[in-house]
């Protein structure tokens, strides 16, 4: 299996830098005075240092410790004389709208995911960008490319508005987190016997991972509602597998059928924690399912 398919799902770090994003966003501002104010305070002197600090913190998984604007704090000054509302408007009014110059950057960031949402292991199709740290609490990063994650609408709506203030509740960052989270299996499933059977998904990270790492994948799994979403996908897909067992593969012994299911899991060009790969692995490991005369 190629390396590019072995993930849930790590994305290449954006090639768009913060200075470019700020410049293009401010190009959409109608007032020349307001444009000049933004550029004087943030784009020209500070953008490189702000981005470097963000990336260092993201790579160290310490964004949870970055000072934030408290919810309900009103419209405080955040940087220079720029207020929270000034910075959040850069995204909502000058980065997202299709008629603005920065929209090309928005679309470019979406394209990097090849249409598949990295947050849910390819269930959803990319429709929007999600702020990894919310712009309401971290308005300085409202158009920071490294803070903008291409994702599906379900992941965008499932994610809570608040961002964790502790390491062990910090969800996975597709650009910056350690490769282990994307290359190693931490999603598992069990078969609940019945007619029809049910696939129940849960978190089972490697034993050698630290407690914080195990807690982080559990937080990611919970925050994006993956147990239910994976289960729905498996429920829709499983009848085809059962029908194949009943017809084409009816002569297979339980061991032969288990080997067939395991091979399907291993040969799929899907992220290692993708729901379908995990489904076939759980079916292969379940004696009742492999022996049951479907």
Instruction: List CB contacts of 11: < 8 A, sequence separation 6 or more.
Output: 112, 113, 118, 149, 150, 174, 175
pLDDT of residue 257: 96
**Please, are residues 22 and 43 in contact by the beta-carbon 8 Å criterion?**
yes
pLDDT in tens, 160-198: 667 899 999 999 999 999 999 999 999 999 999 998 899
pLDDT of residue 7: 46
pLDDT of residue 8: 60
pLDDT of residue 160: 63
Which ranges of the chain have pLDDT less than 70?
1-8, 160-161, 268, 293-294
pLDDT of residue 278: 95
pLDDT of residue 270: 79
pLDDT of residue 216: 97
pTM (predicted TM-score): 0.91
């Amino acid at each position: 299996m190629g390396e590019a398919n072995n993930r849930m799902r790590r994305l290449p770090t954006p090639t768009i830098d913060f200075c470019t994003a700020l410049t293009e966003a401010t190009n959409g501002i109608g007032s020349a005075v307001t444009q000049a104010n933004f550029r004087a305070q943030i784009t020209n002197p500070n953008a490189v240092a702000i981005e470097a600090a963000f990336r260092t913190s993201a790579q160290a998984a310490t964004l949870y410790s970055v000072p934030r604007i408290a919810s309900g704090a009103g419209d405080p000054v955040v940087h220079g004389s720029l207020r929270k509302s000034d910075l959040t408007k850069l995204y909502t009014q000058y980065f997202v709208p299709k008629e603005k110059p920065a929209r090309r950057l928005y679309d470019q960031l979406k394209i990097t995911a090849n249409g598949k949402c990295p947050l849910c292991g390819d269930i959803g199709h990319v429709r929007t960008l999600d702020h990894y740290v919310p712009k309401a609490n971290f308005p300085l990063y409202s158009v920071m490319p490294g803070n903008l994650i291409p994702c599906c609408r379900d992941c965008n709506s499932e994610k809570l508005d608040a961002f964790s203030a502790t390491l062990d509740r910090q969800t996975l960052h597709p650009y910056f987190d350690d490769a282990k989270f994307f290359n190693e299996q931490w999603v598992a499933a069990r078969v609940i016997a019945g007619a029809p059977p049910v696939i129940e998904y849960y978190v089972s990270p490697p034993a050698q991972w630290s407690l914080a790492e195990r807690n982080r994948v559990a937080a990611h799994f919970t925050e994006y509602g993956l147990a239910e979403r994976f289960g729905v996908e498996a429920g829709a897909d499983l009848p085809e597998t059962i029908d194949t067992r009943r017809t084409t593969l009816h002569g297979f012994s339980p061991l032969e059928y288990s080997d067939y299911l395991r091979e399907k899991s291993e040969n799929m060009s899907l992220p290692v924690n993708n729901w379908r790969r995990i489904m076939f692995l759980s079916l292969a490991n379940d004696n009742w399912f492999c022996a049951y005369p479907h």
